[in-house]
């Protein structure tokens, strides 16, 4: 079994954390993915198009850019950062190789947790880096070569608490971090190549990241 857990799910699932195991009767890995929420845009990618919904039932849920009847407060775009999808891809590949070939998958660090105290109540939360992204866990260039802070929850009703959003870093900060586009793309390529070699991305998804490059920060 390979359990894939988004950063946004980690605090609530701490009671289910367990050690990885290579015991033939209990083979297990836990992959906690930094910088991703429980739900992102990919979860709605198979919804019928608005025009098809109207043609089928005469009405639609949401609008083309927001497939729900309620909005968050303030409204947010659906997160399209694909790190969770990419980790699922490599986890399925590892699971196949483990079951069919006996090739044990890599072991991942856990996302780091800290204890916050509010109104005399201690609450475990994810430890964040200076950019507002989770520390530890399975990592990609989206958090290791950041251009944005990835929040794993959003204010508002319904599923907003499980929907993430991002805030792009200030341009002055990006300029300091990446003096030019080449510096940025080089770092993305290095981190992504290391992730592929370490078994945290498939080769095809690694190529997707390098072609998308987040986008390249503009100066």
Helix then strand then coil, % of the chain, to nearest 5: 40, 20, 40
Q: Where are the domains of the chain?
A: 2-47+66-212
DSSP symbol at 29? E
Per-residue model confidence as pLDDT tens digits over 40-54: 888 887 778 878 888
Per-residue model confidence as pLDDT tens digits over 140-159: 999 999 999 999 999 999 88
Per-residue model confidence as pLDDT tens digits over 74-115: 988 888 889 999 999 999 999 999 999 999 999 999 999 998
DSSP string, 132-175: S-B-BSB--HHHHS-SEEEES--SSSGGGGGB-EEEEPPHHHHH
Token digits of residue 177? 């971090």
pLDDT at position 34 is 97
Q: Which range is least confidently modeled, 2-11, 16-25, 55-64, 98-107?
A: 55-64
């Amino acid at each position: 079994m390979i359990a894939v857990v988004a950063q946004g799910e980690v605090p609530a699932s701490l009671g289910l954390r367990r050690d990885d195991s290579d015991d033939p009767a209990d083979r297990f890995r836990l992959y906690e993915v930094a910088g991703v929420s429980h739900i992102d845009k990919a979860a709605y990618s198979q919804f019928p198009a608005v025009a098809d919904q109207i043609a089928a039932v005469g009405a639609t849920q949401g609008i083309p850019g927001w497939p729900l009847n309620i909005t968050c407060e303030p409204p947010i775009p659906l997160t399209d950062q694909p790190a969770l999808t990419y980790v699922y891809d490599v986890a399925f590949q590892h699971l196949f190789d483990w079951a069919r070939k006996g090739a044990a998958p890599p072991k991942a660090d856990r996302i780091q947790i800290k204890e916050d105290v509010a109104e005399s109540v201690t609450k475990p939360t994810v430890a964040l880096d200076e950019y507002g992204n989770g520390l530890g866990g399975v990592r990609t260039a989206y958090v290791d070569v950041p251009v944005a802070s990835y929040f794993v929850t959003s204010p508002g009703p319904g599923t907003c608490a499980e929907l993430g959003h991002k805030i792009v870093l200030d341009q002055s900060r990006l300029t300091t971090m990446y003096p030019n586009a080449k510096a940025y793309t080089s770092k993305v390529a290095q981190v992504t190549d290391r992730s592929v070699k370490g078994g945290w991305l498939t080769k095809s998804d690694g190529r997707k990241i390098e072609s998308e490059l987040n986008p390249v920060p503009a100066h």
